[in-house]
Amino acid sequence: MSYLALYRKYRPIDFDDVYGQKEVVTVIKNAINCNKVSHAYLFCGPRGTGKTTIAKIIARLVNCEHLDNGKPCGKCYSCLNFLNSSDIVEIDAASNNGVDEIRELRDKVNLVPSNSKYKVYIIDEVHMLTNQAFNALLKTLEEPPAHVIFILATTEPHKIPLTIASRCQKFRFSKISDDQIVDRLKEISKIENIIIEDDALFEIARLADGGMRDAINMLDQLIAYSNSNITLNDIYKVNGSVSYDDLSELLKSIITSDKIKVIEFIDRFDEDGKEINKFVEELIIFLKDVILYKNTNLLSTIESKNTNIKKISELYDSKVLYDLIETLNNVQNMIRMSTNGSILFMTSLLKFSDTYFNKIEITDNINNSNSINNNLETNVCDKDKNISREIIKTKNIDNLKESNLSNEEINVRINNALALASKEVLENIKNNWNLIDEYIYDDQFSIVSGLLKDSSVVVGSEKYVIIASELTSIVDRINENTKIIESLFKKMFGYKLFVVGITIEKWNIEKKNYINNVRSGIKYTIKEHKINNVFHNEKTPVDELIDLVGDNIIEYK
């Protein structure tokens, strides 16, 4: 006898065997007990959640000759032969979606059942029917013969015409919970004499994404691979996913700017033939769990995952996690249109690492780490606790706090830049912006060069520069490192420029206000600003001339 797949072997034949869909089961079971079965049902929901299974159970129950409180007797002809009954007709609408097939069905519904009370038509993936086929089915579905029941199943209910949906009782099937899937897998494993780790069971449930059929199928595949002794690592190998230990190591390599490890990791993953888009998705889900833990202290049901979540939550600040997820989401969208997904993924991670963590070098025994992001500007050497960590600052790291702009100072610099704005100066800065490339590997300016490459100059003058970026995180780091950026600009352009960062969104508002003010004749005036607690007052050439000869002599426009 040929091998029977587990999902077929353990398909429920009674409502008591169904896992999940409690509301659906309750309503239909009561309707059968009260003899109030509808002539047409529409089952909607994700794959593997029991739509076809419950349809077959309904077909068995309505035809049982000795139904007892919603339970089939299991002895009558219909119960014993319902799997092979000619009165239960399954139609795959994906391959029988034409008007001719539906017309043939319409002609046959008038034939009485051969051995049963009802003739049940189960139309799977009904959304695949053509418009003409739906039109042919319409009248029959509304007023079928008394001995016919239609059960339509679909994973895409929005594609069902309203004229069809309104003639059916509609039931929404939800994803089956991980706990319910695990309970079912334990039950099957016990019957099949399978030894499987609890972590592996929960990982199967997570990967199944609410689909019981997918979970049982995966268990079947793992049994063939591991010979009835299944571990968590077996799932990673068979499914092509990445272990939590590997994800954790990759994230540690990013925070330590260990580019060689990042490159080696992704190369190895690519050489194994694993799907890069799937890996990015796994990384996003893992980071989501880290964020949940940082905000709620909630952990997953997998012990190895919990250990790595705790480690990464100590290393990454929430703000960095949000930006990394945003970066990965953008990468995922680009991978779909790229033929070199692994290269795109690799360069994105290296770029992110440079942007956030390149201003320090870290040699760390991370197993005993405290929060690195809360100590980026601090050397840590705790001999009493035997924590091996050394944070080596770059030449300018001690000056970072001095150049952290207040909100008041940011607004003053934006105002002054607009007051002194020069199109010629702006064009000159833009034309020479590529000079930043020469300082990317410079010990003194590597801290800020990556930030500037991901930004653009929107206002330039002889004294002030406004730098804009889409990401708030980059803008914040620009305003935290203005002193180093100003030193870099002095090397590039030969004169002092005061720097301020702004988001693209805020810049669009400032630009609109500036244009309206200029058109209304409102003149921007220079405001004094504070640098290292010392007030500086920059004046326009017109202001200096007025101070020299008086306002009553000078006329300006």
Cα separation, 277 vs 335, in Å, equals 7
Cα separation, 458 vs 363, in Å, equals 38
pTM (predicted TM-score): 0.62
Evaluate whether 197 touches 301 at the Cβ level (below 8 Å): no
What class, spelled out in words, does domain 244-393 have in CATH?
A: mainly alpha
State the pLDDT at residue 529.
61
Within the chain, all domains assigned CATH 3.40.50.300 are found at: 6-172
Cα separation, 136 vs 426, in Å, equals 68
Higher pLDDT, 531 or 275: 275
Highest mean pLDDT out of 69-78, 160-169, 444-453: 160-169
Binned at pLDDT 50, 70 and 90, residue 314 comes out as: confident
pLDDT exceeds cutoff 50 at 285: yes
Q: Which residues pair with 503 in a beta bridge?
A: 469
Q: 178-239 is classed in which CATH architecture?
A: Orthogonal Bundle (1.10)
Provide mean pLDDT across the span 180-189. 93
Q: What is the pLDDT of residues 62-115, one digit of tens each?
A: 888 888 777 888 888 888 877 778 888 898 888 887 888 888 888 888 888 888
Percentage of residues in the chain having pLDDT higher than 90: 23
Provide mean pLDDT across the span 118-139. 90
Q: What is the pLDDT of residues 452-501, one digit of tens each?
A: 877 889 998 888 999 998 888 788 888 888 888 888 888 888 888 899 99
Assigned fold of 6-172: Rossmann fold (3.40.50)
Cα separation, 303 vs 197, in Å, equals 11
Within the chain, all domains assigned CATH 1.10.8.60 are found at: 178-239
Q: 401-549 is classed in which CATH architecture?
A: 2-Layer Sandwich (3.30)
pLDDT exceeds cutoff 80 at 126: yes
Evaluate whether 49 touches 175 at the Cβ level (below 8 Å): yes
Cα separation, 303 vs 289, in Å, equals 13
- Averaged confidence pLDDT in the chain: 81
Within the chain, all domains assigned CATH 1.20.272.10 are found at: 244-393
Within the chain, all domains assigned CATH 3.30.300.180 are found at: 401-549
- DSSP state letter for 387: B
Residues with Cβ within 8 Å of residue 394, at least 6 apart in sequence: 359, 360, 443, 444, 446, 447
